[in-house]
């Protein structure tokens, strides 16, 4: 059965910080992490420009592009006297060892990503309607001025800029933390504290999404 109305509007759920859609009978939720709750409802309610419609097609995450990697896991490696750190073998790209490196906004860790991922991040800022034109110009100027190019050698060793290492306190053993399309390099003790502090939030969201 199909119901359409151009006068019905749904607010996007944002309490979890992820995209979410509810099924029509209110019994199942799917969020951007691609987890499902209470599988008793068989059809999804889609909101389109023309109105509402039922569909049996599953909602899925936006797929990773061919140039985007999923960096999974946590590794601990040491930075040598030349500021080189070894990238885990499973994180290496065969065709290119080029990266963009910049400190996280509050200087808690370093962000490492491919040039393609950096371009996607810049484009997201340019198209975000919640950022004013003035703030966008400032952000993009600061973003590009703070970012630095980096390259890994054939052994997978990435040279980290000296200034960035000092800014985030990287020396000796560090933690390499995976993420979608990018990875982070943390001061080991700072990472241990952050991991402990963030665990309750992780457990809460895991329970909400049924993980």
Kindly state the tokens that stand for 88.
């885990």
pLDDT in tens, 134-184: 999 999 999 999 999 999 998 899 999 999 999 999 999 999 999 988 999
pLDDT of residue 166: 94
For residue 185, pLDDT beyond 70 = yes
pLDDT of residue 92: 85
Half-sphere exposure of 83 (CA within 13 A, CB side): 12
138/93 Cα distance (integer angstroms): 32
pLDDT of residue 96: 62
pLDDT of residue 27: 38
> Quick check: 209 and 37 in contact, CB under 8 A?
yes
Mean pLDDT over 183-205 rounds to: 96
pLDDT of residue 97: 82
User: Residue holding tokens 């950096």?
Assistant: 118
pLDDT of residue 65: 53
Helix ranges, the chain (H): 115-127, 133-146, 162-168, 188-209
Greater confidence, 35 or 165? 165
Q: Measured at the alpha carbon of residue 195, what is the angle toward residues 192 and 200, in degrees to the nearest 5?
A: 145
For residue 31, pLDDT beyond 80 = no
Domains and their CATH numbers in the chain: 1-63 (no CATH), 74-200 (3.40.1550.20)
110/104 Cα distance (integer angstroms): 6
pLDDT of residue 94: 65
Positions of E strands within the chain: 20-22, 29-31, 44-48, 51-55, 74-78, 84-86, 98-103, 109-113, 148-151, 157-159, 173-178, 182-187
pLDDT in tens, 37-54: 333 333 333 333 334 443
The alpha carbon of residue 57 and the mean position of all alpha carbons in its chain are separated, in whole angstroms, by: 25
pTM given for the model: 0.67
pLDDT of residue 93: 75
Greater confidence, 33 or 169? 169
pLDDT of residue 180: 86
């Amino acid at each position: 059965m199909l119901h359409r109305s151009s006068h019905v509007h749904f607010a996007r759920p944002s309490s979890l910080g992820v995209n979410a859609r509810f099924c029509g009978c209110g019994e199942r939720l799917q969020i951007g992490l691609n987890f499902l709750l209470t599988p008793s409802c068989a059809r999804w309610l889609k909101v389109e420009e023309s109105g509402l419609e039922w569909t049996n097609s599953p909602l899925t995450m936006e797929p990773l592009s061919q140039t985007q990697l999923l960096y999974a896991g946590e590794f601990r490696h040491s930075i040598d006297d030349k500021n080189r750190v070894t990238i885990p073998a499973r994180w290496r790209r065969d065709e290119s060892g080029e990266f963009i490196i910049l400190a996280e906004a509050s200087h808690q860790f370093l962000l490492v990503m491919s040039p393609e991922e950096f371009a996607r991040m810049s484009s997201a800022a340019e198209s975000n309607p919640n950022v004013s034109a003035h703030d966008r110009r400032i952000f993009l100027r600061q973003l590009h001025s703070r970012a630095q190019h980096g390259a890994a050698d054939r052994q997978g060793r990435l040279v980290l800029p000296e200034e960035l290492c000092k800014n985030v306190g990287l020396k000796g053993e560090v933690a390499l933390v995976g993420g979608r399309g990018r990875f982070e390099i943390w001061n080991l003790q700072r990472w241990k504290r952050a991991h402990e502090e963030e665990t309750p939030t992780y457990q809460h969201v895991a329970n909400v999404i049924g993980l």
